[in-house]
Amino acid sequence: MHSTDSAKGLGSKLTAICCLLLHLFLFPQPAASQTQSSPRYLQNGDNNNDRMQQILKGSGAVSGVTQLNWPQPPKQTIPNVRTELAKLNNTYLYQSAWPAKNVKLGAVTAVSFDKAGNVVIFHRVDRIWGQSTFDLKNEFQEQYRGPIRESTILALEPSTGEVQYEWGKNFFYMPHGLTVDPEENVWLTDVAMHQVFKFPPRGGNGKPLLSLGERFKPGSGRKFCKPTSVAVLDNGDFFVADGYCNARILKYSPAGDIILTWGQNSFAGVSYDVAPQNFFAIPHALTLVPELDLLCAADRENGRVQCFFSINGTFHSQYHSQLIGDRLFSMAYTPAAGGQLVIVNGPTAELGIHPEHYNEVHGFVLNMRSKQLVSKFGPNNLEFHNPHDVAVTADGNEIYVAELNPMRIHKFVHRSQAKPMSLSATKDSSNSAISKSVGEEPAPLQTVHHPSGKAILVASLMLLFAGSTFAMALLFARRRKRGCLPFGARSRRHAWEKSEGFKLGGLLDRDRNGFEKLDQQASDEEQETTTLAGAQFA
């Protein structure tokens, strides 16, 4: 009897297992969907079959099955981005009067510093990267225009914003990246030419010391396809972010020989909340962290910073925040406060597709130890439109942001270094911020003079005397109208008086040619306009 019951029990268990396996094959569970977001970039995984077998067998259920390091969704709950952004402090003050007004710029693509501390920028003058600038083969379509005729590299004095020197005429077609190395050599990338150039300090004679890539011919291997940025080590080794097409990083010797390369393009398959290591969706900018021997890359369309050991390209860490969003254009490192990354993001690429992905375009300061955002900044504490690159001084006191549209370079100063302002100056700066927000130029500051105590006393006595005189005149006028004067004086008639008595109008009746009637209707309109303007700025 017991054996019969055991057989029935075993049979029922086997039947249940078979049903379960049949259900899994007919209706496979989307186990990987928890780590997948909307299909923006596709990453074609070769391990899908192995992963499916692992899911069917159960994780760790069978010995010898290798654990696959698939990206996992964040453990924390999704924050309210708008609320969390509002909590971040603004630790940097915008310098709206910098650079000098006579500096004319096109789309500013990159910013760096020379040894003298000048702010060196790369800009496109009159060139715009549009939808027809490149064809489907990534070949530049505007060679017929020739190189940009005006200077594309400007060095600005950090205090005044005046141009100290300029160069780069008749050479570049579509500027992108700029880096000044420890020897003051200037490294530049041109996405139209698909090349990387090394120039001597301040451009030298206008001829590059080193040219990499083949002119106007995109490719891979020793060729580039729209390279974006360069970073240079103290020993002369340098890195190139071969960004828009190949999505890789290459390390070179000082002579220009390839040492190593790494990176894979994540624009194929499915996108993940946290993309896999060493995958790039446009490595857009590079920065060095000397204290840790790291090279960090802005993984633009994955909205993160990936850092690698500069000696061998091994992955070290990544930095991502939901407050930054899905697009991160550039970052710069400062050793201040134990090591910080200054980051600029960009407008989300999913506007209208995923409205739940709230996005604000700011500059951010991220602590590398805690991986937390500590502050934000922007023009007059507002948002950027389309920032492209960022640079920060070694002490962390000054930040410069290159922006494509509007075409300008921004300067920010840490609050601890900002000069104190008086109350009147503070009011003027707040009015200036309002004017900037509506596209007006701020009014020049005016000096406010405070009267002394003696001046106040004299003014009070003069007002008292004028009031007394007016009261006496009014008393005399009333008594004259009644036909009597004080102190027994008799009524006298003057030349300006008429029979009906004294009237001020009688004095004016003699000649009206110098006076015009007040237009009450125009006055009302002016008053209404003033009232509306006041309400607008309230």
* Binding site, annotated residues for Zn(2+): 176, 284, 388
Cα within 13 Å of Cα(338), Cβ side: 8
The CA distance from 234 to 178, in Å, is 17
Phi then psi for residue 304, to 5 deg, are: -150, 165
Phi and psi, residue 339, nearest 5°? 110, 110
Q: Are 433 and 440 in contact, with CB atoms under 8 Å apart?
A: no
Q: Which residues are annotated as a binding site for Ca(2+)?
A: 111, 178, 389
Residue ranges of the annotated binding site for a protein are 124, 244, 300
Residues 187, 230 contacting (CB under 8 angstroms): yes
Amino acid making up residue 170: N
Structural contact between residues 397 and 414, judged by C-beta atoms closer than 8 angstroms: yes
Q: How far apart are CA 425 and CA 429, in angstroms?
A: 6
Q: How would you write 61-127 as a 3-class SS string?
A: CCCCCCCCCCCCCCCCCCCCHHHHHHHCEECEEECCCCCCCCCCCCCEEEEEECCCCCEEEEECCCC
* Kind of pairing between the strands at 210-212 and 195-199: antiparallel
Which residues are annotated binding-site positions? 111, 124, 176, 178, 244, 284, 300, 388-389
- Cβ contact 323:81 at 8 Å: yes
> Mapping DSSP to helix (H, G, I), strand (E, B) and coil, where does residue 433 land?
helix
Question: How many angstroms separate the CA atoms of 381 and 247, rounded?
Answer: 34
| φ/ψ (deg, to 5) at 325 | 100, -160
Neighbour-count burial of 355, counting CB atoms closer than 10 A to its CB (0-12 exposed, 13-18 middle, 19+ buried): exposed
